[in-house]
Structure 1
Amino acid sequence: MHLLFATSIVPDGALASGYEIANAAIIAALRRAGVRVTVIGFIWPGKAPSDPENTIVLGAIDVRTESASARQKLAWLGKAMLSGLTFASVKLRAVSDSEVGAAIERAGPFDGYVLNSVQFAGAFEKLFANHPSIFVAHNVEHASARENAAAANSRFQRLLFAREARLLKTMEERLCRRACFVFTLAEEDRAALGVASDDRSAVLPLVTTATAPKPVKPRRIDYDAALIGTWTWQPNRIGLDWFLEKAVPHLRRNFRIRIAGNMPSDISSAHPGVEFVGRVPDAQAFVRGAAVIPLISTAGSGVQLKTIETFELGLPSVATSRSLRGIDHRPANCVVSDDPAAFAGALEAAAADVRDVDGSAFHRRQIKELDAAIRLGLERLGPVGQEVFA
């Protein structure tokens, strides 16, 4: 079986975001199932595809809103309003339908598409009607857009996110309706997308690495707690605001917190133990330097890759219930609380008595269930998929 994996950004091997980590896990699982996978999409400027023999690059593009100029943002907004596309999809209209169509033809004979999230599929939707498809819903995007609208600081942002929510809802409905099968990354997303029956969808348990990370013993503890993420992404920002404004004030003043990653300019904390450290050279080494990992998601859908990585590494954690979406197996050293004061108390208790566990069992279980879900989806792809496993 040969499938064309249509995605916004093709893999370059860096795994710099949760989206890229998820894509790598899904592509690897498809290949373990015996599928020939050709990836098509854009690439970050200055990067090269990690698997050039099986990748079709449409061009280099930077789709990050936070790094775009005011002129570029206005251009994207104008194109979105004129075209009726979402703001996220219109960023990818840097090439024409005919150019994308020609690139698809160059992929040679193939049996179907894997439409990876709504952004690329929405930008070139009519081109993907000529073969059966599997739709991968990384998130329930319309629900996230509604949450972003509710949390927006200005009327303009609220209106923009509300528009995105309306368009995304109809787009997700179309993609799900046309797909032979839908993969989600969290169980609750199946019902939210209207595909809860087992013959329509399955959850993909994910991993962050191909092999289980090896434990480091003894660990050197340099700070009490560590967080890392792309905090300019609105669902992540909502969780960070909750943590800094609600939970951190309950922590003792000498509790040391290090926060790494791309940070909005208006983030701050009055707590003397909080330090924003920007980009770090080694994300795993950074989190391994903490006594405990706060898992602080309070918005969004899909799965939290930072939660999966924490469990793979066997590190102690304190998690909101929203941080555990898409994960069925919680290790013994993870405490769950949605109450800010209790959350802070659990962080202090975990930092005072550090208890690592072996994360390899969690990793093996995720891989086994991921492969089973991929096989189920491929079988639903039609006669070609059924022949693969005959």
Structure 2
Amino acid sequence: MPTVAGFYFLLMRCLWLTRKYPRPVNSGELIYSDGMISAFAETEVELTVIAHDNDERPVGDGSSDSRYVDAQGVAWRLGSPQLGGRLGSLVTRYPSDSHRLKNGGPEAALAQALREESWDVIVIDHAAMGWALESLVKGRNGSRQPKLVYLSHNHEAKIRREIAKESTNESLPKRLALRLDAEKYVRQEEALCAQVDLVTAITDTEVAAYRDQFSNQRYLTLTPGYRGERHPNHEITEATPRRVVMSGSFEWIAKRLNLESFLAKAAKPFAEAGIELQIVGKTDEAFRQSIAARYPTVDFVGKVPEMTPYLLDSRMGLIVETLGGGFKLKALDYLFHRLPLAGLRHAVDGLPHTSPEEVLLMDSMPSLIREVIVAVDDVPRLNRMTAASFEKCEAAFEWKDRGRQLHEAISAL
């Protein structure tokens, strides 16, 4: 039993529900879940996590009920590495993601954990894990124990409706399915916000959006931390290729819509200016080949084992999402690699950088493209930007601070 100044105290017993074992961390959502779980595990807590195993690098035995203890002592109860299909969700009240995530082990693991053990707090990590809410609320038997926390990654109601509205190139059945799925996400997230004891959000803007509808809820902003490589001495030179890079994971439909919208506006002017546009990130090969065929001047690299070589060999990093909200974790990759950031103003919510001496932000895509074409050859300006932005963010994005904030907020409930 832990002690402080000679006094014994009990660790907080926490059950954490997330989508899958988040390592390797190769998407923004996995980075955020992994960062929060690891940081929270460093506080005064006994942490158990229910999730699916990782399909790329499983740590369990491949069954729907395997166990694993990581280096921090976190106990993982893992479902199958592979998820089931989405089609069955059409006849349920669950969004397609939730339908897939609850089956294959996690639903049974949660029922057992609630039946056989007692918990001080249960964290619902991502709206897609809202499938668990009903059993969690019933398990409290009219009490307010255990405390329930919804750890949001995005304002899902807003984003899912945007995606359904903008998916105009999809078939009619696909568009109808997206609309139905969006409304299921809306209902599920609203139930979470109404019934948990604490809602966390990734930016202050999203907290404000939640508060507009659920004014009596408790909120906590938890921007991401950063534990990747830092290159404080990197500088851009005339020898650096006239290249701009856009990194990310391009598997989710919103990410693909954003990419296609950007390329339709940017590929031609960048090519005419002799600027190489490079897209680096995880996607399926069919989508990568489709983009490469439509935009032959764009270098769509796809998934790579390490982003650093690409970030250090470019002159600017782009953040150009028009759909979706939240904090873009690739912004921290850019800034900590001393790569100048250029983006749409609304797409970099949560960053402390606002000055044009630190980052290049514009309100529209055409104006951003024009300014990038001008800025890419101003090497002294690019290095001034990276020096100023690196200094501002150097100590501002520590994961351990986020874990401590969450622990303190839960303790105060």
Does the pair score TM above 0.5?
yes
Equivalent of residue 300 in structure 1, options 318, 324, 336? 324
Q: Give 1:215's match in structure 2, choosing from 228, 232, 238.
A: 232
2:77 is aligned to: 57
Indicate the residue corresponding to 1:141 in structure 2.
Answer: 156
User: What residue number does 1:174 align with?
Assistant: 191
CA distance in 1, matches of 2:270, 2:69: 43
Q: Does 1:242 align with 2:286?
A: no
Question: Is 1:145–1:165's contact at 8 Å kept on the other side of the alignment?
Answer: yes
Q: Secondary structure at the match of 2:211?
A: coil
Q: Secondary structure at the match of 2:324?
A: coil
8 Å Cα contact 1:33/1:375 also seen in 2 = yes
Equivalent residue for 1:4, pick from 2, 7, 15: 15
Residue in 1 aligned with 2:136? 128
Q: CA deviation at 1:134?
A: 1.1
Secondary structure of residue in 1 paired with 2:254 = helix
Q: In structure 2, do the counterparts of structure 1 residues 192 and 184 end up closer, same or farther at CA, with 3 Å as the change threshold?
A: same
Contact kept? 1:235, 1:299, Cα under 8 Å = yes
**Aligned-partner SS, 1:208:** coil
Q: Is the 8 A contact 2:52 2:106 kept in 1?
A: no
Cα distance change, pair 135–177 in 1 and its aligned pair in 2 (3 A): same
TM alignment of 1:156-167, pairs within 5 A: 156-167=173-184
Q: Contact between 1:207 and 1:363, CA under 8 Å: does it hold in 2?
A: no
Say if 1:200 and 1:96 are closer, same or farther in 2 by CA, change over 3 A. Answer: closer
Cα deviation for residue 80 of structure 1 reads 0.8
Matching of residue 90 in structure 1 with residue 99 in structure 2: yes
Secondary structure of the 1:3 match is strand
The 1-side partners of 2:225 and 2:147 are apart by 27
Instruction: Look up the match of 1:100.
Output: 110
Partner of 1:349: 374
Offset at residue 386 of structure 1 (A): 3.7
Measured after TM superposition, the shift of residue 273 of structure 1 is 3.6
The CA deviation at 1:28 is: 3.4
Report how many residues are paired. Answer: 367
1:198-253: CA deviations, max 9, x gaps? 9611211212317x713353557345111122223122112212221113332242
Aligned partner of 2:308: which letter? Answer: Q
Whole-angstrom distance in 2 between the partners of 1:162 and 1:226: 33
Question: Equivalent of 1:200, from 218, 236, 255?
Answer: 218
Partner AA of 1:25 in structure 2: G
Indicate how the Cα distance of structure 1 residues 179 and 41 shifts in structure 2: closer, same or farther if over 3 A, else same: same
C-alpha deviations, 1:350-378, integer Å up to 9, x for none? 3212324242540412338x83x655554
The CA distance in 1 between the partners of 2:324 and 2:127, in whole Å, is 15
Does the CA contact (< 8 Å) of 1:250 and 1:341 recur in 2?
no
Residue 69 of structure 1 corresponds to which residue in structure 2?
Answer: none
Look up the equivalent residue of 1:245 and give its one-letter code: A
| Deviation readout 1:45-101 (Å, 9 max, x if unpaired) | 3422682641323323334xxxxxxxx64xx21x21222211111112223744432
What is the match of residue 279 of structure 1? Answer: 303
Q: CA 1:330–1:51 in structure 2 vs 1: closer, same or farther (change >3 Å)?
A: farther
User: 1:305-341 CA deviation, whole Å, 9 max, x = no partner?
Assistant: 1123222323112101232123233463311113333
TM-score normalised by length of structure 2 = 0.80
Amino acid at match of 1:340: M
- In structure 2, the CA distance between the partners of 1:280 and 1:62, relative to structure 1 (3 Å rule), is same
| CA pair 365-197 structure 1, distance change in 2 beyond 3 A | farther
Q: Deviations over 1:164-192 (max 9, x none)?
A: 12111111111112211111012222233
| Bigger shift: residues 191-200 or 281-290 | 191-200
Matched, 1:257 2:274: no
TM-superposed deviation, 1:347: 1.6
Matched residues in 2 for 1:238 and 1:19: separation? 18
| Equivalent position of 2:126 in the other structure | 117
**CA distance in 2: counterparts of 1:99 and 1:32, whole angstroms:** 24
What's the secondary structure of 2:151's corresponding residue?
strand
Any unmatched runs of 5+ in structure 2? 1-11, 60-67, 141-145
Distance 1:59 1:28, change over 3 A: closer
- Would you say the 8 A contact 1:114–1:133 is kept in 2? yes
**Cα pair distance change 1:139/1:186, threshold 3 Å:** same
Matches of 1:83 and 1:193, distance apart in 2: 26
Unaligned runs of 5+ in 1: 64-71
Which residue number in structure 1 is paired with residue 396 of structure 2?
Answer: 365
Question: Which structure has the larger Rg over C-alpha atoms?
Answer: 2
Separation in 2, partners of 1:306, 1:166: 29
1:185 aligns with 2:185: no
Cα separation, partners in 2 of 1:188 and 1:274, compared to 1, 3 Å = same
Give 1:25 deviation, angstroms.
Answer: 2.2
Q: Closer, same or farther in 2 for the Cα pair 1:360/1:29, shift >3 Å?
A: farther
Question: Could you tell me which amino acid in structure 2 is paired with residue 173 of structure 1?
Answer: E
Supply the distance in 2 between the matched residues of 1:158 and 1:172 (Cα, whole angstroms).
21
Aligned match of 1:68: none
Q: Does the 8 A contact of 1:221 with 1:290 survive in 2?
A: yes
Identity %: 21
| Equivalent-residue separation in structure 2 for 1:237 and 1:335 (angstroms) | 23
Following the alignment from structure 2 to structure 1, what is the Cα–Cα distance between the partners of residues 166 and 217? 36
Kept in 2, the 8 Å contact 1:97–1:127? The answer is: no
The CA RMSD over aligned residues, in Å, is 2.8
Shift of 1:304: 0.9
